[in-house]
Structure 1
Amino acid sequence: MERKQLQFVAFNSFLDSGFWHKLSENKLDVYGLDESQKEIKGFYFNGDPVGMPCRMNVEFSAFDQDAKTPQRCLPMLGELHNTNTVDKFKECDKKEMISEAGKKIWDSVVSGKALDTPELLATFLLLTFADLKKYHYYYWFCFPCLCPSTDITFDQEPKKLKDRLTAEEMEQFLQAYDTFQDAHPTYQGFFVAVLSKGNIVIEDVKHMNKFENTQEVYFGFCDPSNIEDYPGWPLRNFLMLISYHWKGDLRGVNVLCLRDRSRDGTRDISHSLLLSLCVPDIKNVLECPKCVGWEKNEKQKLAPRFVNLSASMDPTRLAASAVDLNLKLMRWRLLPELDLDLISRTKCLLLGAGTLGCNVAKCLMGWGVRTITLVDNGRVSYSNPVRQPLFQFEDCVKGGKPKAEAAAEAMKKIFPGVNAKGLSLSIPMPGHAVPESAIEGVKKDVETLQDLVNSHDAVFLLLDTRESRWLPTLMAAEKQKIVICSALGFDTYLVMRHGVRSDTEGADLAPCPVTAPSPGIS
């Protein structure tokens, strides 16, 4: 009579959304352009109720190698392969990846390392691409398993544990099982059990051959499958280990598929499977057997999966992340010494909100500066929007909006994450008479300007006249602030930096000589 072939229930991957957030964070702050494999962790559970799929979970803690596996869950060791582009994700040699993973499992079987560390039999690969501008993620799981050259078949029809043990003996089994698990730092997914009358023994896999002449010996594993008569995926590599190292008869290998569920608040293992299998002998196999394991997608096709988390993300955070990503790409590729945190913390004061002011403000936002204050005493006129990109026609009507306030509002519309503020303020200029009635107002403006210079790290002089640059230049020099002066002529331009400087790394900041604004350019 033809023997029935043993089939296995494949894993279904379950990824917690926190994993993607942690991956995004690591990509931005740790990995950069590094595409080398990273060690991660997952786990599976063998106590799910009937109807649940054979689940394998990966959570936000996957990147922490010291994180504890949840209670009564079995650890899985994984490799993360995160690509920098979607094309690299699609073109990745998946056959080579699974072949390399299979060789590692085979080496652990042949060397006997898997006897001491059975977790090496339950591993996974995760190939990903993270589009951090849109929060789109592409991923593909692989659960590599070695395949013998001939099929594994049933020697007898599957049975339930309740048909082999009495209720009292099952209680004894649970006590022995819990004692066995408590002796290990993490739950063991594989073990050897002796189910003899009145004497139930559970041992580590490495002691399997101590029971080679014992008929009641069973190779046990924590079975995540809930499908009757079909064991879960982890059994595949376990059978390869048994075939290579078991000195007993391979024509009747007993397997216990432990399904440790809870029903009405009570643990129930009565539905666990007992299998008697004919396992091919691979002791003389020299080359690594074929390896399978790429997960099918929702349509049951061998293809990657896709998840879109943009809807769950705050648009402001999305914009901030996209801006940061552009800058970090620049740092990764061109300027490793670029201190983006320092740039984002720098507070910039822009004196002038005209052609120069609007363009400098947008440029600073593009460089990740988050705090920008604009000062201007003018109003938006009809000639401004065509030259000054932060203004529109609506800003010109009814006498025009104050330039600084209108520019700040436009910046927030462009990027809500910027802390932009606009102030209407007159800057006193040498040689310009001040009426007696306006003296108090001028004093107040001077005090406000002084406070602004004190509270900002860099001052940009983007004013129309050289006289208006004089007072803020003196104030910034007195407070040792960085000053950048920019001016436009009809066919000339000037950009000049003065203020503090450090000639050597770690030296105290010393003021640069105050440089008078260039005459004749406005």
Structure 2
Amino acid sequence: MESAVSARLALQFAPFSSALDAGFWHELTQKKLNDYRLDESPRNIRGYYYNGDSAGLPTRLTLEFSAFDVNAVTPPRCCPAFGTLYNTNTLQSFKSTDKKALLEQLGKEIWDTIRSGKAIEDPSLLNTFLLLTFADLKKYHFYYWFAFPALCFTEGIPIVQQPVSLAEKFSTCQIHTLQDAYDELCQKEEVTAVPYFLVKYREDSVSLASLRNWNEFFKGQTKVTVGVYDPCTLTQYPGWPLRNFLILIAYNWGSFLDTLEVLCFRDRTMQGVRDTQHSIIFEVKLPQIASVTDCPKCVGWEKNQKGSLGPRMVNLSECMDPKRLAESSVDLNLKLMRWRLVPTLGLENVVTTRCLLLGAGTLGCNVARTLMGWGVRQITFVDNAKVSYSNPVRQSLYEFEDCLDGGKPKALAAVEKLQKIFPGVKVEGFNLSIPMPGHPVNFSAVTMQQAQKDVEQLEKLICSHDVIFLLMDTRESRWLPTVIAASQRKLVINAALGFDTFVVMRHGLKKPKQESGEPATVAATINPALAGCSLFSNIPGHKLGCYFCNDVVAPGDIRGFLSRFDNVLPASLAFDKCTACSPVVLDHFEKDGFQFLANVFNSSHSFLEDLTGLTLLHQETQAAEIWDMSDDESF
């Protein structure tokens, strides 16, 4: 009974799970064909692990295409891990490799760094790994087996105090101080993340130090606390990197310790807010190994998908084509972004969202690149201009050659460039003029017919897309798309640039006239907040104003001031006398169609102002101002 209790109270660790993206296998293929050939010599490689994953994700060690460059830059807030690659020439050689000897050899190297003190100076030496591979390049089948060597105590590690969250142990002030102290330590050590550190805390302060400062830092201390950058997401268990760290502490300082407190530091960012309170802290009693000279037992081979000790195999025959590889890499990057930043983001819906970009200038080019970066695969450009010599320096999709011979149509040139950047994008371009209020189209039957054709084409494009981006360089050109999109209940994003300011605005998504049986909008499937209410207020989304409501009432938008690096986030109701999205304008458009539009195009701005009641509102306002002035003068 006593032994069962001891086993139950012994500390356990969550093992690493290997995470190799398609880019790693593509790079290994190139190395095998061009560099390694028949040479089976071990190679130095590098990976990294991250301590900010969402709950439920495995403790991952990631290897990317850059794994073969041991001097490559480690991603922000990640810990590097250095390892050895053993790439065999045949499947038989892969199977017959003495895996026990490989693991024991690496375990002995770790033990030597602990005994010599090198691991105290460079704690990354505790987190090494080995990777055994065979690449069948005829079939693009890759066999691999990971090992994450961990030295073991001959007996279990008793838990004195069970793991609890940092929020239960530390105050809010202590948590914030810990975060700041950790950032300062990373900056001092000039690393993206410190894998192990020393901790002292009081009610109003937390201080950290490197392992090399142990004796000075803990001088006179009866209680010792150490920290580990922990990639595990489980609430009751630490991650694998703690194992070798405890061996190092037991060997160097264990004889002076009664118990040891361990802080598993987990630094998650959720939707832009930093959170470390889910870190765990517990206390253990370390077995005595200070007098041990022989290398402890080493474990660490990864289990396969069936949960047994054995290799894994990945079939990449379908995605080793460069175009497919690009798609795979983009997808992986997006998943990492979602895991770390926006867990609720529906990537599947983003991929299928059809985006219409009206305007292919400075805004259009950069919005297109950003959309692709977030996973959008269907983009359509509309523009009637040609690439001029002044464009390439500001508009990122064009080059000097696009300006020659009078210039390529912008919409078509943008299509060509996006396809070169990412062949997986589905992109179209339309060289189309957008009729504007106050710009007459009644000069001739031909002009009128062309204007009607342009309007019909624009209506079809808006109808066939999910999100409409207004990115033109004139205010008037935004009116017609705003009216059509409001009538069709399409989500509109309006962006405009000033000399040192910019505006990014989401138009209100009008309620359907028949709400029953209506399908969910794309905005709702990507992010429910978009369909329900403004991101910046409690105003219902369908009541937000549009770009033209701005005439009298500022609509919901993001206004940035580049000169002072500032953002303002106002939000307000739609204006019932708006010249673009008010009920009276939409009713006339839906009832009279192009005849109504022709009246708008061929008339002065007073036509819309009279129709919506703005003219009367201005007159009443002026009369009220005159009356107030006369009252003031009477006194």
What does the per-residue CA deviation read over 1:409-444, in whole Å, with 9 as the maximum and x for residues that have no partner? xxxxxxxxxxxxxxxxxxxxxxxxxxxxxxxxxxxx
Q: 1 CA distance for matches of 2:323 and 2:251?
A: 57
Q: Which amino acid aligns with 2:314?
A: V
Q: Which is worse superposed, 165-174 or 212-221?
A: 212-221
**Aligned pair partner of 1:195 in 179, 198, 201:** 201
Structure 1 residues 323-472: aligned runs within 5 Å: none
The letter for the 2-side match of 1:308 is: N
Match for 2:212 among 206, 212, 217? 206
Change (3 A) 1:240 1:69: same
Structure 1 match to 2:309: 302
Q: State the secondary structure of the residue aligned to 1:68.
A: coil
Instruction: Determine if the alignment matches structure 1 residue 162 to structure 2 residue 167.
Output: yes
Match of 1:256 in 2: 263
- Mapped contact 1:225–1:232 kept (Cα < 8 A): yes
Distance 1:313 1:198, change over 3 A: closer
Deviation at 1:265, TM superposition (A): 2.2
2:101 aligned residue (96, 100, 110):
96
Partner of 1:197, secondary structure, is coil
Q: 1:315 to 1:38 in 2, by over 3 A?
A: closer
Asked if 1:28 corresponds to 2:33, the answer is yes
1:235-283 Cα shifts (integer Å, max 9, x gaps): 0000000001116643411100011112342111112111100111111
Cα offset, 1:124, TM superposition:
0.6
- Asked if structure 2 preserves the Cα contact closer than 8 Å seen for 1:209 and 1:246, the reply is no
Corresponding residue of 2:183: 178
Is 1:267 the counterpart of 2:274? The answer is: yes
User: Quick check: which has more Rg, 1 or 2?
Assistant: 1
TM-score by length of 2: 0.49
More helix by share: 2
Deviation digits for residues 138-179 of structure 1 (CA, Å, limit 9, x no counterpart):
000000000011111101222221222210111111111100
Q: Judge conservation of contact 1:218–1:255 (CA < 8 Å) in 2.
A: yes
CA contact (8 A) 1:212 1:248 kept: no
Distance 1:316 1:270 in 2: 42
Quote the residue 1:276 is aligned against.
283
CA contact (8 A) 1:255 1:275 kept: yes
**Distance in structure 2 (CA, Å) of the matches to 1:55 and 1:312:** 23
From 140, 143, 152, the equivalent of 1:147 is 152
- How far did residue 183 of structure 1 move? 1.5
Is 1:50 paired with 2:55? yes
**Hey, what does 1:123 align to over in structure 2?**
128
| Amino acid in structure 2 at the alignment position of 1:285 | V
Matched, 1:73 2:71: no
Q: How many Å apart are 1:31 and its aligned residue?
A: 1.0
| CA distance, structure 2, for counterparts of residue 212 and residue 287 of structure 1 | 30
> Which whole-Å deviations, capped at 9, do the CAs of 1:430-460 have from their partners, x for residues lacking one?
xxxxxxxxxxxxxxxxxxxxxxxxxxxxxxx
Q: Contact (CA 8 Å) 1:155, 1:251: kept in 2 or not? A: no
1:86 matches 2:91: yes
Return the letter of the residue paired with 2:199: A
Whether contact under 8 Å (2:254, 2:288) holds in the other structure is: no
Tell me if the contact between 1:41 and 1:58 (Cα under 8 Å) persists in the aligned partners: yes
- Root mean square deviation, CA, Å: 1.9
Displacement of 1:313: 3.2
Q: Distance in 1 between matches of 2:271 and 2:319?
A: 36
What is the match of residue 286 of structure 1?
A: 293
Deviations, residues 9-48 of structure 1 (Å, cap 9, x unaligned): 0001000111111111111111111111000000000000
One-letter amino acid of the structure 1 residue matched with residue 286 of structure 2: V
Q: Which has the higher contact order (CA 8 A, sep 6+)?
A: 1
CA contact (8 A) 1:40 1:79 kept: yes
SS state of the match for residue 162, structure 2?
coil
Distance 1:196 1:90, change over 3 A: same
Which amino acid is the alignment partner of residue 191 of structure 1?
Answer: F
The alignment status of 1:5 with 2:10, answered yes or no, reads yes
In 1, the alpha carbon distance for the partners of 2:210 and 2:323 equals 53
- For residues 69 and 213 of structure 2, the distance between their equivalents in structure 1, rounded to whole angstroms, comes to 31
Contact in 1 for aligned 2:225/2:263 (Cα 8 Å): yes
Give the Cα–Cα distance (whole angstroms) in 2 for the partners of residues 24 and 314 of structure 1: 12
2 CA distance for matches of 1:218 and 1:81? 38
How many aligned positions are there? 318
Shift of 1:216: 4.8
Q: Normalized per residue, which structure has more strand? A: 1
Partner amino acid, structure 2, of 1:293: G
Give deviations 1:452-509, integer Å, cap 9, x for gaps: xxxxxxxxxxxxxxxxxxxxxxxxxxxxxxxxxxxxxxxxxxxxxxxxxxxxxxxxxx
* Counterpart secondary structure, 1:246: helix
**Alpha-carbon distance in structure 2 between the residues aligned to 1:39 and 1:158:** 36
What is the identity, as a one-letter code, of the residue corresponding to 1:78?
Answer: G
Query: What amino acid maps onto 2:89 in structure 1?
Result: N
Deviation at 1:133, TM superposition (A): 1.4
Does 2:246 match 1:239?
A: yes
Q: Secondary structure at the match of 1:183?
A: helix
Q: Summarize the Cα distance change of 1:37–1:167 in structure 2 as closer, same or farther, 3 Å threshold.
A: same
Listed as ranges, the gaps of 5+ residues in structure 2 are 326-635
Alpha-carbon shift at residue 132 of structure 1 (Å): 1.2
Separation in structure 2 between the aligned mates of residue 314 and residue 240 of structure 1, nearest angstrom: 46
Partners of 1:34 and 1:196 lie apart in 2 by 56
For the 8 Å contact 2:223–2:260, the answer to whether it is kept is: no
Aligned in 2, Cα 1:164/1:92: closer, same or farther, shift over 3 Å? same
1:215 deviation in Å?
A: 4.0
Measured after TM superposition, the shift of residue 225 of structure 1 is: 0.7
Q: SS at 2:161's partner residue?
A: coil
Q: Give me the identity figure in percent.
A: 47
Do the aligned partners of residues 146 and 233 (structure 1) sit closer, same or farther apart at CA in structure 2, a change above 3 Å counting?
Answer: same
Matched to 1:243, the amino acid is A
Residue 217 of structure 1 and its aligned partner are, at CA, apart by: 3.3
> Secondary structure of the equivalent of 2:109?
helix
Q: Is the 8 A contact 2:163 2:237 kept in 1?
A: no
Contact 2:173 2:204 in 1 (8 A): no
The letter for the 1-side match of 2:43 is K
Residues of 2 paired with 1:37 and 1:104: CA distance? 15
